[in-house]
Amino acid sequence: MNPRLCRAFLLWLLLCPLLAGGPLQVRDFRGKTLSLPRPARRIVCLMESALSGLYMLGAQEQVVGVPAQVYRPPVQVWYAALDDRLRQRRLPAPGNWDFVSLEGVIAMRPDLVILWSSQGEAIAALESRGIPVYGIFLKSREDLYREIRDLGTLTGHGSRAEELVAYTQAEVERFARRTRRIPANQRPGIYFMWAQGKMETSGGGSTVDDLLTLAGGRNVAGDIPREHVTVGMERLLGWNPDLIVMWNNERLIPTQVMGDPQWRSVQAVQKGRIHMLSEVFLCDLWTLKYPFAIKQVAQWCHPGLFRDLDLAQEEQAMLKRLYGRELKR
């Protein structure tokens, strides 16, 4: 071969990876660096919140395995509307946030698996077989933005990820501009009730604490620096919240709380200010849909300030922006 042509060919070999952009690299929530030679084309995602993000990114055709949760109420109807494969139950579900079928995952020949970072044994088993795993652990809005950007990089939808983050940040700011001007003495004290039980709440520095603050309220459990905490009735009565916000709960509705003799002396009960967030798919605090929860709580906290807010319109506008089309149950 002509020496000049040989040198040109060797130079092309060296530059080719650079011209192609090189490997796709991100650092997951374990601190582990993932490197993919190209966007993932066979993704097994066993986290419903992350799966929601993949559909927002437009990466659904790259998904070959889903969490079992998507085939169960209440999210089932939404995913059936999003993807005909899920409506027909054609995508395998080899696990969930609490279990993983290693044989089922491996059989799908994934080039990327998405799991909670706490699923250590499953992650180690998959990585020992050379399967890349992106581990997730979300504690804040910034973590959520990071997750979406990382998934955008790993799937080849980076520009869409930036669009999604920008839209969500703008929606948060749209409400924060109103609520940040509310003085502390006009912010209602809010008790947040998880579906696990009446005395299950979230303290300061938590995702819920951020939600209540952005909505113009004050978390009565804010002096407890914990994401999830169980409190006693005596402490709750001492807080005497102005407003109670319930996570969506199929086993308990606001009128049942109001009818509980132990709760009758609570100011929020006496004034009938107990509200339940919309179903989890719409208000998931670990997806880019969390601003919809802010909007609901803001209207409950300050109905006069947000009398112009049409939640039905806000819901449909959000779904269309995030998923790229109208989406109804």
Question: 126: domain CATH number?
Answer: 3.40.50.1980
Task: List CB contacts of 304: < 8 A, sequence separation 6 or more.
Answer: none
Please tell me the distance from the alpha carbon of residue 301 to that of residue 255, in angstroms, as a whole number. Answer: 19
Examine residue 160 and state whether it is found in any structural domain, yes or no. Answer: yes
Q: For residue 268, give both structure tokens.
A: 């929020």
* pLDDT tens track for 113-155: 999 999 999 999 999 999 999 999 999 999 999 999 999 999 9
Residue type, 133: V
Cα dihedral value 177, 147, 99, 44, nearest 10: 130
Examine residue 56 and state whether it is found in any structural domain, yes or no. Answer: yes
- Residue 203 sits in the same domain as residue 263: yes
Please tell me the distance from the alpha carbon of residue 200 to that of residue 192, in angstroms, as a whole number. Answer: 8
Examine residue 10 and state whether it is found in any structural domain, yes or no. Answer: no
CB of 146 closer than 8 Å to CB of 154: no
Provide the residue range defining the domain that includes 260. Answer: 182-323
Examine residue 43 and state whether it is found in any structural domain, yes or no. Answer: yes
pTM of the model: 0.90
Can you tell me the mean pLDDT for 199-203? 98
CB of 244 closer than 8 Å to CB of 257: yes
CB of 272 closer than 8 Å to CB of 244: no
Please tell me the distance from the alpha carbon of residue 304 to that of residue 324, in angstroms, as a whole number. Answer: 32
Provide the pLDDT for residue 16.
42
Examine residue 199 and state whether it is found in any structural domain, yes or no. Answer: yes
- Residue 192 sits in the same domain as residue 158: no
Examine residue 209 and state whether it is found in any structural domain, yes or no. Answer: yes
Can you tell me the mean pLDDT for 235-264? 96
Residue 302 pLDDT exceeds 50: yes
Number of domain units in the chain: 2
CB of 253 closer than 8 Å to CB of 274: no
Long-range (24+ apart) CB contacts under 8 A made by 93-97 are 93/65, 93/66, 93/67, 93/68, 94/44, 94/46, 94/65, 95/46, 95/67, 95/68, 95/122, 96/46, 96/67, 96/68, 96/69, 97/46, 97/47, 97/48, 97/67, 97/69
- Residue 151 sits in the same domain as residue 209: no
- Residue 215 sits in the same domain as residue 159: no
Cis preceding-peptide flag for 74 (omega within 30 of 0): yes
CB of 195 closer than 8 Å to CB of 249: yes
- Residue 191 sits in the same domain as residue 312: yes
Show the CA angle centred on residue 234, arms to residues 233 and 238, nearest 5°.
115
CB of 231 closer than 8 Å to CB of 191: no
* pLDDT tens track for 84-121: 999 999 999 999 988 999 999 999 999 999 999 999 99
- Residue 46 sits in the same domain as residue 149: yes
Chain mean position to CA 91: 21
Binned at pLDDT 50, 70 and 90, residue 2 comes out as: low
Of 83, 155, 159, the closest CA to residue 114 belongs to 155
Long-range (24+ apart) CB contacts under 8 A made by 258-265 are 260/198, 262/233, 263/198, 265/237
